[in-house]
């Protein structure tokens, strides 16, 4: 059995941006609030962190800053995946050098590699890095699906230790867990499937929801880990409307609007992302008020 990077809740944290660049003051505030609320890990510069529109220097600096701000209190997982394997290797090496505890490697997008290509790409990164690697399967964004049989092959690599599963396909995830056993940890990549995936043996979630509801997401996972499935399911259902609102437009558009409403960032995104449509933002803010995140 391999070492587990974290158990419970990892926040796929936003990157506060403004017209001048990254707002590191707000970023530090956001990190501190997350840790105070008990999250078990932070994922930096992933999809939710707008890693795809950060410059190379910003991407590296955001990782370095996050590592230094957290200072070992919880694991830092750096988003270093790319559709260019050579670039993913360089960025992963940098993240390891500055002290990231693990790497999050998304399936190469746009290229739509074969399963052999996916295997070789992930293996190439894991071969040259000295930190644990978490695979990230999100076919709706990347155009390719990392199949359970390929994950089972990759799980034999000593540094490939986990997968963030955001396919939404519970049958596929069940097959993956059946094939891999304890050779790989599985994390939910969808906030509406935290309880279902953990009921199959998942170790927790890499969450967008926890940007705005960290205590509640942590509690949901802890209830599952403690065997209180009914209590966890109650929270899952209580927050399902908010989860739906957080994904009514492409992530991270809604969560950026939500965090801005809470004062943790400006509602600023880089093209091709644009701020939420008004009717959708009203739906999001109403869902936040319903669960008490925002006042009336």
Which residues are designated catalytic? 136, 164
* C-alpha span between 103 and 201 (Å, rounded): 22
56 CB-near residues (< 8 Å, 6+ apart): none
The SS3 call for residue 252 is coil
CA atoms in the 13 A half-sphere facing the CB of 184: 30
| Separation of alpha carbons 188 and 142, rounded Å | 17
**C-alpha to C-alpha distance for 121 and 164, rounded to whole angstroms:** 17
Place of tokens 């949901």: 220
Under 8 Å CB-to-CB from 227, ≥6 apart: which residues?
A: none
Handedness of CA 224, 225, 227, 231 (dihedral sign): negative
């Amino acid at each position: 059995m391999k070492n587990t990077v974290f158990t419970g809740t990892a926040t796929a944290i936003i990157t506060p941006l403004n017209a001048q660049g990254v707002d590191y003051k707000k970023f530090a505030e956001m990190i501190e609030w997350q840790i105070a609320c008990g999250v078990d890990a932070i994922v930096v510069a992933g999809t939710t962190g707008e890693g795809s529109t950060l410059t190379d220097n910003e991407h590296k600096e955001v990782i370095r800053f996050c590592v230094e701000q957290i200072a070992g209190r919880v694991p830092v997982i750096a988003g270093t995946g790319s559709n260019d394997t050579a670039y993913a290797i360089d960025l992963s090496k940098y993240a390891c050098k500055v002290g990231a505890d693990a790497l999050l490697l998304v399936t190469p997008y746009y290229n739509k590699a074969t399963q052999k290509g996916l295997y070789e790409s992930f293996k190439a990164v894991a071969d040259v890095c000295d930190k644990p690697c978490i695979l990230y399967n999100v076919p709706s964004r990347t155009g390719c699906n990392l199949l359970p049989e390929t994950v089972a092959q990759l799980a034999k690599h000593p540094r490939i230790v986990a997968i963030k599963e955001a396919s939404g396909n519970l049958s596929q995830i069940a097959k993956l867990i059946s094939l891999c056993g304890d050779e790989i940890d599985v994390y939910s990549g969808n906030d509406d499937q935290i309880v279902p995936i953990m009921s199959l043996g998942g170790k927790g979630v890499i969450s967008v929801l926890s940007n705005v509801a960290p205590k509640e997401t942590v509690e949901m996972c802890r209830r599952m880990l403690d065997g209180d499935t009914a209590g966890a399911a109650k929270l899952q259902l209580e927050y399902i409307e908010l989860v739906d609102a957080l994904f009514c437009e492409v992530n991270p558009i809604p969560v950026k609007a939500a965090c801005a409403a809470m004062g943790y960032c400006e509602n600023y995104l880089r093209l091709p992302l644009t701020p939420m449509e008004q009717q959708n933002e009203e739906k999001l803010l109403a869902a936040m008020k319903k669960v008490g995140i925002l006042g009336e």
